[in-house]
Structure 1
Amino acid sequence: MRKIRTWVGVAAFVWMSYTYKLSTKLSETADEQVDKSWTSALVLAATLPVVVGVLYYLAAPAARRDLLRRAGRCFGAIVAMMAAASVFPIIVLSGFFEGEEPLVEGHFTATKGLMLAVLLLVTFWVLPFVVLGVGLAVQHVFRTADIHETVPPLLIMALAWEMALIDVFTGAHEGVPTLIRFVFILGSPLSVTAVGLWELHRLRVHYGLGLRGLLMR
């Protein structure tokens, strides 16, 4: 259901972009979707500690230590992604590749070897890790099912409404008729909330999993 909702949303966004000339090229539309995914991952990373803090406050004292232990895996996923993403600005700001002759010219030196190793690491490991990690982080909600099965739908619902607020305050989809614009802005959080509530219902009815189990209340 999540995948269906996501693909319907992407198709609707592409239709809106081309119908109202928000993007003239498919690459521009794809770039905008990538930027939105990265923003979602950052907002989710900022929201997770708040949610964990609220759950910690609400949980029974006997459940708090286990809650933090489980949440540690999720925070580890956040740190890994942020650390990988920070490699690019660090390289640029350090000027590591500036002022050096091309790697393919002249004699091979230790400095060139180091530069080549860094370039290969960034190209074949760090870059794919960040690109795939952003999508997986949002899809799996930073592994928050490790905390409890009910946490991912709760976080996804919160994220959807936060992204809608960001769209409102940043003037997203300018140039689109007002009614269509607000249908798109509100359609995402409303559909995500519907799927999330359905997921919570199924977890409770079919598997006996509810927030009370996490909080030990």
Structure 2
Amino acid sequence: MGLPFFFMASLYSARSAFNSAQVHPMLPPVLTLTLVWTFAAFSLIGDGMPPGPPLVQFCSTVGGPLTVTAVSLWELRRMRTRFGVTLRT
């Protein structure tokens, strides 16, 4: 019964709620960078390290956030060098 409402609401929220680039073009990578490390910290605090050898534990815990950080920093650099968009402090 509520499935059509859920589907239409999901489409609307996907179009409007995640448009952080309308605030500032560099906000999506900065927001992504902040959220991925926050979620990694909460996961580490809540669940602890994953099982396995220490190297696997470290790579499993930090590998995802480091990859997202690299892509976000690359995106920030690309916007600055190609389009002249900078963050104001």
Q: Shorter-chain-normalised TM-score: which range? A: 0.7 to 0.9
2:83 paired residue number: 207
More helix by share: 1
Map Cα deviations across residues 135-186 of structure 1 (whole Å, 9 max, x no partner): x58xxx8211000111110000001101110121112564333321221211
The alpha carbon displacement at 1:128 in A equals 6.5
2:66 paired residue number: 190
RMSD, matched Cα: 2.7
Where has structure 1 moved over 2 Å in runs of 4 or more? 127-130, 172-179
Counterparts in 2 of 1:167 and 1:176: CA distance versus 1, 3 Å: farther
Counterparts in 2 of 1:171 and 1:178: CA distance versus 1, 3 Å: farther
Point out the structure with max Rg over C-alpha. 1
Amino acid at match of 1:176: G
Equivalenced residues, count: 88
Counterparts in 2 of 1:128 and 1:180: CA distance versus 1, 3 Å: farther
CA distance in 2, matches of 1:170, 1:129: 31
After TM superposition, the score normalised by the length of structure 2 is 0.79
Unmatched segments (≥5 aa) in structure 1:
1-118
Counterparts in 2 of 1:182 and 1:143: CA distance versus 1, 3 Å: same
Match of residue 166, structure 1, among 20, 42, 47: 42
Counterparts in 2 of 1:179 and 1:171: CA distance versus 1, 3 Å: farther
1:27 paired residue number: none
2:3 paired residue number: 123
